[in-house]
Amino acid sequence: MPETALRLTYLVQPGLMPYGDGLRLQEHFFSGLLVEKKDHPSRYTQANYLILLEHTPVFTLGKSGLPQNLLVSQGQLLAQGIDFYATSRGGDITYHGPGQLVVYPIFDLDQHFTDIDRYLRTLEEAVICTLADFGINAGRSAGQTGVWIGNKKICAMGIKASRWVVMHGIALNINTDLAYYSYIIPCNIPDKEVTSMEALLGYNPGIENVSQKLLLHISALFGLNLKQIPVPSLAKVPQA
């Protein structure tokens, strides 16, 4: 694809941060794109955003999720310093924590393709290609989102869309502490397991190495021209 056809996409990499702060960043970029697209079409920049980070331990419940899939009380989570959020994304309950690469594309699909199913499958393909770079043969599970190795899920997905602008995204287990998944029925699928790259490879491939590979595949599949920008000061970002 020629350089002129690439979509300008701002890359934001805040490192490890609590889920609430990451949500504020998402909402900041997401609402900005929506307002610009709706109210100022004549000067709409068409720039997208891509946030890569890790979260401190948190369980998040999707808008169609079942609260009973959290197998401990929120009080027990609080006592262990684990956050809990009901979110606007699709899907059920999942875990985020250190050692897991979380990717939040804030994309206007009008500048890519207006097809949510294709968008999800393209995100999955980027993860499948990344895992293949490390010798892991991953794929899909019929009727379920995410990326799988047999009956073990290695990457969870969930998104929100409005006027073809999307937020939330994917969570790829690299060297995640899998013990946290015993607190939930992940994604409301009781007969499946969760795994990580470290569990499969026998070593930690490193979040920086995986991030670089995944960025390459996302950029190639979506046709992105990535430009890294500083992380906005949270003091200037309204509460989500």
Which residues are identified as catalytic?
Answer: 187
Structure tokens at 238: 């309204």
Specify the 3-state DSSP secondary structure of 116: helix
Q: Which two tokens stand for residue 196?
A: 């990580």
141, exposed or middle or buried, with CB in 10 Å at 0-12, 13-18, 19+? middle
For the chain, the first-to-last Cα distance in angstroms comes to 37
Length of the chain: 240
| Distance, CA of 27 to CA of 150 (rounded, Å) | 35
Q: In this structure, is the dihedral angle defined by the CA atoms of residues 229, 96, 87 and 147, taken in order, positive or negative?
A: positive
Distance CA 239, CA 140 (A): 36
